[in-house]
Amino acid sequence: MTPAETVAALFKERLADSADVAAIVDDVESLTYAELERRSADIASALLARGLEKGDAVGLLMPNSANWAATAYALMRVGAIVAPLSTLLRPRELQQQLATAGIKRLILSESHRGRNYRDDIAQLDRSALPALADIVWWSEFDFSGPSDRTAVAMAEAAVTPSDDMAIMFTSGSQGAPKGIIHTHGGAIRATRDAAAPRCFRKGERVYLPMPFFWMGGFGAGLLAALISGATLITEHSPEPARTLRLLERERVTIFRGWPDQALQIARHPDFAAADLSSLRPGSLEALLPPELRSAPGRRANLYGMTESFGPIAGWPLDQDMPESGWGSFGKPLGSIRMRIVDPDTLEELSPNQVGLLQISGPNIMRGMCGRDHAEVFTPDNWYNTGDLAQINDEGFLFFVGRRDDMFKVKGATVYPSEVEEALTTIPGVLRAFATNIEIDGQNAVGAAVLLGEGVNIDIGALAEAARQRLSAFKLPARWTILGSLRDLPMLGSGKLDKAAFRALVAAGQAPPARRA
């Protein structure tokens, strides 16, 4: 049997084998695959009656919910192109993304976390958005009328694997957002290749709070669940005590939240009494009992990006890698191809050499909004990831850092990732962030650290511990202790605002002079 390569075909598979299985559980409701299919068909019917056509780019601006999922599926089933939009966007950023993707219709909530989106929409310059013809407020959208399943079926039949399915926005920490275009076939194949290593299997109940407007929530969450028949459990505003109750009540088997979130839950006073016996290896290990954990570095961190529609290198998250792969991101998944080239000459390097990672294959993006193919891909059709990496003799991928993050201090190369990794080995340091700053016209290292709850370490002690772990040229010349991760300046894309972060760190404290 040929695997499904459109969203409509995926629903047919799930109705055949998992109709009564819970598909998605949110803060207020739970829908089986049959119920989710029916709701998405009703929404698709209502949108078709409203004038939706194949190829329309439709922005979706809502918090995580079953309705978000049903609406996205409705759009993709009938050939529209869904463009998930961040709930963090400010009006100027929203304007830019609507223009970049040529959004024709916008479906959105009234508000979220204190944001009034009607106020935001009122600030848009509609004259600069000629494609935007329809704004649909979810609170006013009625899809309860008679559903025209014939119209939906006809629209579904016209969708092919080569048709565009989604525009996913991403950005560097300093550049303009990029609208990444993925087809049905490419996105579904990429997600299927990564589903099993990520422990998305039929019967699993996967907790994943990542926003659906990010690849980690959309492709690696919603679409992965639909492909595998797993149950996706999400919430739009995670909070340790509430999340702990949710994990217990829903008998979650795989926890794929954030590492910091897992640590916060593990330290909560209610954690010891909670019944999390349903959790299996493949979950973040802070929530697992010691006997189910692995030694540091033996399990893979998955490597992927929006341009590849999620993970493209990995290893089953519930299995140790061979020793030759410890500390790596695993091996390429599915049909993906990887090569390491010299950053300057672009000549391919031998195994174990550090260079620029390029990727190729049928499952990566079709292209970027507003950019020619030659602007995005090399002449032989490879994509420059911008990441520095090495692939060893056994084919394991080791990440070194971002090419544009690399800098030199007194002529010596510094990778922020190396500094960050060393600082997180200091007892009491939960997270570390490093970048280059300028002091007296010269490059230097600056760092910000997040300490564990109740930990009290001063800058002097941190600096002394760093000296035991780092070469002199890698030592932070300025330190900032974060009160929480909310202290980090972020962009609407959810990535670190590096310019603002540099300013934050540069204003930090210099380590005290060492005593003779």
388 and 411 within one domain: no
183 and 53 within one domain: yes
Residue 34: CB atoms within 10 A of its CB come to: 16
Residue 428 belongs to some domain of the structure: yes
Q: Per residue in 175-184, pLDDT tens?
A: 567 899 999 9
Give me the pLDDT at residue 515, please: 56
430 and 366 within one domain: no
List, as one string, the DSSP characters of 328-359: S--EE-TT-EEEEE-TTT-PBPPTT--EEEEE
Q: Per residue in 404-463, pLDDT tens?
A: 777 878 777 787 888 998 899 999 999 999 999 989 888 899 999 999 888 889 999 999
Give me the pLDDT at residue 174, please: 47
Read off the CATH number of the domain in which 333 is found: 2.30.38.10
Confidence at 344, pLDDT banded by 50, 70, 90: confident
Residue 297 belongs to some domain of the structure: no
List, as one string, the DSSP characters of 240-276: HHHHHHHHHHTT-SEE-S-HHHHHHHHTSTTTTTS--
Give me the pLDDT at residue 314, please: 95
Q: Per residue in 148-166, pLDDT tens?
A: 999 999 999 999 999 999 9
Q: How far apart are CA 143 and CA 204, in angstroms?
A: 31
Give me the pLDDT at residue 357, please: 97
**Is the per-residue pLDDT at 492 higher than 70?**
no
Q: Per residue in 120-148, pLDDT tens?
A: 999 999 999 999 999 999 999 999 988 99
Read off the CATH number of the domain in which 422 is found: 3.30.300.30
Q: How far apart are CA 191 and CA 56, in angstroms?
A: 23
The answer to whether residues 82 and 58 touch, using CB atoms and an 8 Å cutoff, is yes
Give me the pLDDT at residue 516, please: 45
Q: How far apart are CA 325 and CA 46, in angstroms?
A: 51
Q: Per residue in 223-259, pLDDT tens?
A: 999 999 999 999 988 999 999 999 999 999 999 998 8
272 and 149 within one domain: no
Q: Is 249 exposed, middle or buried (0-12, 13-18, 19+ CB in 10 A)?
A: exposed
Token readout for 439 is 């002091």
Helix axes 7-17, 184-195, angle to 10 degrees: 40
Q: How far apart are CA 341 and CA 390, in angstroms?
A: 10
Number of domains making up the chain: 4
Q: Mean pLDDT throughout 367-389?
A: 94
- 3-state per-residue secondary structure call for 266-299: HCCCCCCCCCCCCCCECECHHHCCHHHCCCCCCC
Q: What angle do CA 379, 181, 220 make, to 5 degrees?
A: 115
Sign of CA dihedral 344, 348, 351, 357: positive
Phi, psi of 319 (to 5 degrees): -135, 145
412 and 396 within one domain: no
138 and 191 within one domain: yes
Question: Which 8-state DSSP code applies to residue 323?
Answer: G
Phi, psi of 83 (to 5 degrees): -120, 90
Give me the pLDDT at residue 173, please: 43
| Residue where a domain terminates, one of 384, 402, 420 | 402
Full domain range(s) for residue 117: 32-200
The answer to whether residues 445 and 417 touch, using CB atoms and an 8 Å cutoff, is no
Residue 22 belongs to some domain of the structure: no
Q: Which amino acid is at 28?
A: V
Residue 233 belongs to some domain of the structure: no
**Is the per-residue pLDDT at 93 higher than 60?**
yes
387 and 373 within one domain: yes
342 and 389 within one domain: yes
The answer to whether residues 31 and 68 touch, using CB atoms and an 8 Å cutoff, is no
Residue 219 belongs to some domain of the structure: no
168 and 144 within one domain: yes
177 and 58 within one domain: yes
Q: How far apart are CA 70 and CA 50, in angstroms?
A: 17
Average per-residue pLDDT for the chain: 92
Read off the CATH number of the domain in which 166 is found: 3.40.50.12780
Q: Which amino acid is at 509?
A: Q
**Is the per-residue pLDDT at 391 higher than 90?**
yes
Those residues with Cβ within 8 angstroms of residue 225's Cβ, 6 or more apart along the chain or in another chain: 23, 24, 200, 206, 231, 232
Residue 232 belongs to some domain of the structure: no
Q: Mean pLDDT throughout 273-292?
A: 95
436 and 454 within one domain: yes
280 and 348 within one domain: no
| Residue where a domain terminates, one of 344, 373, 402 | 402
Q: What angle do CA 355, 360, 361 make, to 5 degrees?
A: 155
E strand or H helix that includes residue 46: helix 33-49
Residue 398 belongs to some domain of the structure: yes
Residue 412 belongs to some domain of the structure: yes
Q: Mean pLDDT throughout 385-399?
A: 95
Q: Mean pLDDT throughout 189-201?
A: 93
Percent of the chain with pLDDT over 90: 78
Q: Per residue in 42-63, pLDDT tens?
A: 999 999 999 999 999 999 999 9
Q: How far apart are CA 272 and CA 266, in angstroms?
A: 8
Q: How far apart are CA 227 and CA 244, in angstroms?
A: 27
Q: How far apart are CA 63 and CA 69, in angstroms?
A: 10
**Is the per-residue pLDDT at 371 higher than 80?**
yes
In this structure, the chain runs to a length of 516
